Structure 1
């Protein structure tokens, strides 16, 4: 997880300028939270305030902008949850290597910083509902087409980051594709733009930032592939074991934000080219 955070932080630094508004056409939205679900029975009398802990090194989710202000998707989500639940809220940044311990030591109530959901972390923390996942996506050049069948790519050249989970996906599910390895996903996407490969299969989030600056060239093709065993289970908030009232309140807040449209608005604000 630390390596991923470092690599993605460097990538986002390079691509930060690409967050300028892009043309919003038909956009697919995350649907991990069911807006038609009955309100979770949260005892908000037991949660008069929520102390969120985060980090400042994980853009675009939680980081400091040029003025030093703590910003990001997770920061806006934390504040949106407090508004939906009508409870007071604070957000405090900690170094990544201290954040989980600070939560264990009761320095906060919730960690919203991209902590991985693993058997090890599950021993110390309970997790909210997953609110965002990172699918694999095909990217192609040219004009978008209504139908895309990756099986028809047998023998064609598809760029992929060497040694990545996305390369494993192609090996496992589409072995007839001719993989072309690249050191980074951006290098693969640049090769697509130059016509050196027929498509790229990559992390949808990272590809979306690249696409935001290359809409005249390329587009997502086909469906989003969610494979938790390869691409990870997604993002959720961590709370200490035994803090069920806080965890249930977070889930209730997510349902309210999805129902009101606030969660979708937040997603499109930070990710104008949807990777879903």
Structure 2
């Protein structure tokens, strides 16, 4: 084999390797216990806004996606050890997380809110909740906010693997309040039979120092290729109407937030 043919063969092999890498399935981590963003149907299938948005993005990028269900606090570790290639599970883009992972652009942005028995009033959470027991989901942005703001003000912070566990303890009287995303709390608790007699209370909790600039798709640190193509796909499905189709399936209002 002459030198020209050899170089050509090597180049073709390199191109084929890149093509195969680009076409490889994208393994996406999701919690599947955070309705209406992610949950399982009675048949055990994954569903929800996050899941449908992820599938729309994969269709736009023309790649196959496989979903890996796990608890939220294991998402970033799984990303680091390459168990998954991306995390699409309502993960807020924060400066703290950006030290460990990279993100696509946001795909939605909503504030947090306290849930308590109806009739309670919160003007200043740091004052009005002092000595009270407040539940948050472990490793969430609400956990970080509660640790640095509420706990130091004398609030007793109780951490849970899932937010649904916190709702159960609120109803059973083991908590005075819980803090989570306003949409999740409203749709998955307040509007359900379990949440009868409870209400969203107090100011919106959306300090950018803790809650960043919305929920994005996490990728490994330095994985600019996936971050960029996911961001481009988010722009594309917002432009072609697929984002709105998914959003209106779950919500009656725009959850994307300010541009």
Q: Which TM class, normalised by the smaller chain length?
A: 0.5 to 0.7
Q: Deviations over 1:134-192 (max 9, x none)?
A: 1368xxxxxxxxxxxxxxxxxxx965674889xx9xxxxxxxxxxxxxxx99xxxxxxx
How large is the Cα RMSD of the aligned pairs? 5.0
What is the aligned residue count?
Answer: 199
Answer yes or no: is the 8 Å Cα contact 1:112–1:236 preserved in 2.
yes
User: 1:51–1:90: 8 Å Cα contact kept in structure 2?
Assistant: yes
Structure 1 pair 255–118 and aligned structure 2 pair: CA distance change class (3 A): closer
1:108 to 61, 84, 88: 84
The 2-side partners of 1:98 and 1:83 are apart by: 26
**TM value normalised by structure 2:** 0.55
Change (3 A) 1:251 1:204: same
Higher relative contact order (CA 8 A, sep 6+): 1
SS of equivalent residue, structure 1 residue 131: coil
Aligned residue number for residue 208 of structure 2? 228
Q: Is the 8 A contact 2:92 2:211 kept in 1?
A: no
Distance 1:56 1:203 in 2: 15
User: Between Structure 1 and Structure 2, whose CA radius of gyration is higher?
Assistant: 2
Q: 2:224 is matched with which residue: 234, 241, 244? A: 244
1:114 match: secondary structure: strand
Q: Which structure carries more helix by proportion?
A: 2
SS in 2 for 1:233: coil
| TM-score normalised by structure 1 residue count | 0.52
Structure 1 residue 74 corresponds to structure 2 residue 55: no
Q: What are the ranges of 5 or more consecutive residues in structure 1 without an aligned counterpart?
A: 1-43, 138-156, 169-183, 186-201, 214-219
Q: Please, which runs of 5 or more residues in structure 2 have no aligned partner?
A: 1-17, 114-119, 135-141, 146-165, 168-179, 193-199
Offset from partner CA, 1:200-234 (integer Å, 9 cap, x none): xx964146527868xxxxxx9xxx99642365532
The Cα of 1:77 is off from its aligned counterpart by 1.2
Match of 2:183 in 1: 205
Q: Distance in 2 between matches of 1:267 and 1:227?
A: 25
SS in 1 for 2:65: strand
Separation of aligned partners in 1, 2:249 and 2:207:
25
Asked if structure 2 preserves the Cα contact closer than 8 Å seen for 1:125 and 1:238, the reply is yes
1:45-92: CA deviation from partner (whole Å, max 9, x where unpaired): 562234233233432222222211112211111110011111222112
Matches within 5 A, 1:43-58: 45=19, 47-58=22-33
